[in-house]
Amino acid sequence: MARLNYHHLYYFWRVASIGHLTQAAEQLHLSQSALSAQIKQLENNIGQPLFEREGRRLVLTDVGKRVQLYAQDIFSTGEELEQFLKSGNTDHTHLNIGFETHLSRNFIEAFITPLFSEPTVSFTLYARTMDGLMDGLLNHELDIALTNRALANDVHGILWQNQLVARQSVAIVGPYGEQPKQSFPEGYEDKTWILPARNMGIRSVFESFCATQQYRAEIKAEVDDMAMMRLLARDSGFLSVLPPVVVKDEIEAKKLQVYQELPQAYEHFYALQMPRKFIPEVLLHLLRSHQLE
């Protein structure tokens, strides 16, 4: 085998990480045919195929999966070094923190609050989709990402690090002073609901709870964004199901109140990272301050 061409290996790594040749070509500012030719040269040099086609999808071969792991170590470390050199070796630390777009802003504020008292620390917050958060971590554009779902280790072949940083109970919340006197479901027959969308874990918990109580909710709206849930819970006059932390200010102002917590129902919040050679001390301290026992 000829000496390994790291230029070709980098292109392979980007395609394997993204999972789509067309998207990788766009990000690399190459034509699809040119990128395909570069990967083909790498396969010819290795003497084995790295991808195989399943319909329109490119799937890694067993050899391709092994090569991806080595390439991940090589280029991830290189990009981490590049980001470190760009930042400069100073006493000041800047953190890039991503969060999933639908997350509760109250949770995010609670997570970053310890940074306010750090005079040599600044930070930037980025709202992104889950795919955007993974891309940001892979490219070392983000130091950490906040989500409400753990990420499996086999996504993009990365050993993702998921730390549980908060656990919030889930409750029925409604207008202040209008709580039914009876326990659920009595007194809730004529209530209208604003519920989390069906793709959210809170929704399935609520539906299971309703099933055990033989209750059918009259649904006015379904929402997959906690910021919008907060507004609708506050302004609609309908009942909602969400962690009380989302409407903490409204509860304190006596605009809303918790009617009932759902038994054994929680929303979990995670800090997501990928393996790194160096983690800033301030980030380690922040994660320790939120570590749950």
- pLDDT single digits (tens) 21-58: 888 888 888 898 899 898 999 988 888 899 888 777 78
Sorting pLDDT into bands at 50, 70 and 90, what band is 90?
low
pLDDT category at 191 given cuts 50, 70, 90 is very high
Which pair of tokens denotes residue 232? 């609708």
User: Could you tell me how far CA 171 lies from the centroid of its own chain?
Assistant: 23
Whether domain 6-85 has CATH 3.40.50.10470: the reply is: no
User: Domain segments of the chain: what residues?
Assistant: 6-85, 87-166+269-290, 167-267
State CA 77 to chain mean position distance. Answer: 22
Edge to edge, the sheet with strand 218-223 lists 121-128, 93-100, 144-147, 256-273, 161-175, 239-242, 192-196, 218-223
Mean pLDDT of all residues in the chain? 88
Q: Which letter does DSSP use for residue 117 in this model?
A: G
Contact criterion met (CB below 8 Å) for 16 and 57: no
Same fold, 6-85 and 87-166+269-290: no
Tens digits of residue pLDDT in 93-142: 889 999 998 888 888 999 999 999 999 899 999 999 998 998 888 877 89
Q: Dihedrals φ, ψ of 180, to 5°? A: -60, 145
Q: Look up tokens 């040749």; give the residue.
A: 21
167-267 is a CATH 3.50.50.60 domain: no
- Are 174 and 247 spatial neighbours (Cβ–Cβ below 8 Å)? no
User: Fold for domain 87-166+269-290?
Assistant: D-Maltodextrin-Binding Protein; domain 2 (3.40.190)
CA distances (Å), origin 146, targets 5, 43, 70, 80, 214: 36, 37, 27, 20, 36
